[in-house]
Amino acid sequence: MRAWHVEAPGPVTGHPLRLHENDETPRPGPGELLLRVLACGVCRTDLHVTEGDLPPHQPGVTPGHEVVAEVTAVGEGDSAGFRPGDRAGAAWLRRTDNTCAYCRRDAENLCPASLYTGWDANGGYAEYMTVPAAYAHRLPAGYSDAELAPLLCAGIIGYRALQRAELPPGGRLGIYGFGGSAHLAAQVALARGATVHVLTRGEQARQLARELGAASVGDAADMPPEPLDSAILFAPVGELVLPALEALDRGGTLSIAGIHLTDIPPLNYEKHLFQERQLRSVTANTRQDARDFLGFAAEHKLAVTVHPYPLDRADQAQRDLKAGRFDGAAVLVP
């Protein structure tokens, strides 16, 4: 089978990814599913793994964790109800120990023994992959394979980031950066009656924000036209933490959605944190987050902006992502 591997992490312009044409098709282990990949989203986290911001936990790992697939075989043991021929999704969270204090309190995203697709184990930049059945997802109807792919990380993480931002009913939300995750989180917030202000670079992203119903659109360093109840930082730029905190009203919350962030400059307590402003991180997601968001997507048809790339152009898709050459999300289609 064909599969991409991170052979030498480094700048994506230096071709750290290599396409292998004759990898052996994996076999599902106990409790695992063998998936034939139908579509795989290109997430910024994949880019961080490729470039070494997140050093690969498995040498030569295959990236990709927004995977829409067909089950072609099941391993021995519990298949979680999946059968060959079913459509299934694989996401970032691959496995937890289910026994630690975090798992027991429904915070499996904080499990110290957690493993991740495309980081600890081979992911979806390939024609086939495996996933533990207990961590595979049922997918909502009404979407194409390409449209479903970004929902499996961009959508889920954006949903958790929105929950962490504690947006009150009918509240004012600021979104910093407007890529694959942000354009989905914005739609969830709008469906709940929020006023959404988008602050981002790139005219394509700004135009998409306008089309989706943003009340205002500006540059990432601008101040929104009104104080914010909540904000989400999707851009992995630590410098934006300061203007985002400054834009918050009293008691407002800033949620940082990325797994990687450049350094945050020094904060001024009175200017950025006083009046009970909060700064919160987002770490992965739980399976319940995924079920909740995918259920929302089943009930509310989301507009998913995708840009398909053939599998053999995965490296170009990552370069285009880094350069901000598209709005929405890139999706690999084998």
Q: Mind giving me the DSSP string for 303-329?
A: ---EEEEEGGGHHHHHHHHHHT-SSBE
Does 296 map to a domain?
no
Give the pLDDT band (50/70/90) at residue 328.
Answer: confident
Does 71 map to a domain?
yes
Query: What is the mean pLDDT of the segment spanning 243-249?
Result: 98
What residue spans of 133-193 are helical by DSSP H? 145-150, 156-164, 180-191
114 and 217 co-located in one domain: no
Give the residue, 4 or 259, on which the prediction is more confident: 4
316 pLDDT exceeds 90? yes
How far is 324 from 204, CA to CA, in rounded Å? 9
**Using an 8 Å Cβ cutoff, are 176 and 324 in contact?**
no
Structure tokens, 326: 């598209």
How far is 64 from 331, CA to CA, in rounded Å? 10
Count other Cβ atoms within 10 Å, centred on residue 207. Answer: 13
Does 227 map to a domain?
yes
Q: What was the pLDDT predicted at 258?
A: 84
Percent above pLDDT 70 for the chain: 100
Range of the domain at 94: 3-139+304-333
96 and 160 co-located in one domain: no
Q: DSSP characters for 280-311?
A: EE--S--HHHHHHHHHHHHHS-----EEEEEG
Query: What is the mean pLDDT of the segment spanning 11-36?
Result: 97
**What domain count does the chain have?**
2
Give the pLDDT band (50/70/90) at residue 57.
Answer: very high
What amino acid is encoded at 210 in this protein? R
Going through the chain in order, the beta strands assigned E by DSSP cover 3-6, 17-20, 32-42, 67-74, 87-90, 93-95, 115-116, 128-132, 136-137, 172-176, 195-199, 216-218, 228-233, 248-256, 278-281, 306-310, 329-333
184 and 267 co-located in one domain: yes
304 pLDDT exceeds 90? yes
Does 286 map to a domain?
no
How far is 238 from 240, CA to CA, in rounded Å? 5
326 pLDDT exceeds 90? no
Burial of 120 from C-beta contacts in 10 A (0-12 / 13-18 / 19+): middle
Task: State pTM to two decimals.
Answer: 0.93
Count other Cβ atoms within 10 Å, centred on residue 246. Answer: 16
Give the pLDDT band (50/70/90) at residue 327.
Answer: confident
Phi-psi region of 328 (alpha: psi -120 to 50; beta: other; left: phi over 0): left
Q: What was the pLDDT predicted at 3?
A: 98
Query: What is the mean pLDDT of the segment spanning 159-169?
Result: 97
Give the pLDDT band (50/70/90) at residue 221.
Answer: confident
How far is 299 from 321, CA to CA, in rounded Å? 30
Does 297 map to a domain?
no
170 and 268 co-located in one domain: yes
62 pLDDT exceeds 90? yes
Query: What is the mean pLDDT of the segment spanning 109-127?
Result: 98
CB-side neighbour CA atoms (13 Å) of 3: 25
pLDDT in tens, 176-199: 999 889 999 999 999 999 999 999
Q: How many residues belong to the chain?
A: 334
10 and 102 co-located in one domain: yes
27 and 132 co-located in one domain: yes
Does 315 map to a domain?
yes
Does 260 map to a domain?
yes
Percent above pLDDT 90 for the chain: 95
13 and 134 co-located in one domain: yes
202 pLDDT exceeds 90? no
* Strands of 278-281's sheet in order across: 216-218, 195-199, 172-176, 228-233, 248-256, 278-281
Q: Please, what sign has the CA dihedral across residues 221, 239, 324, 210?
A: negative
101 pLDDT exceeds 90? yes
How far is 243 from 52, CA to CA, in rounded Å? 28
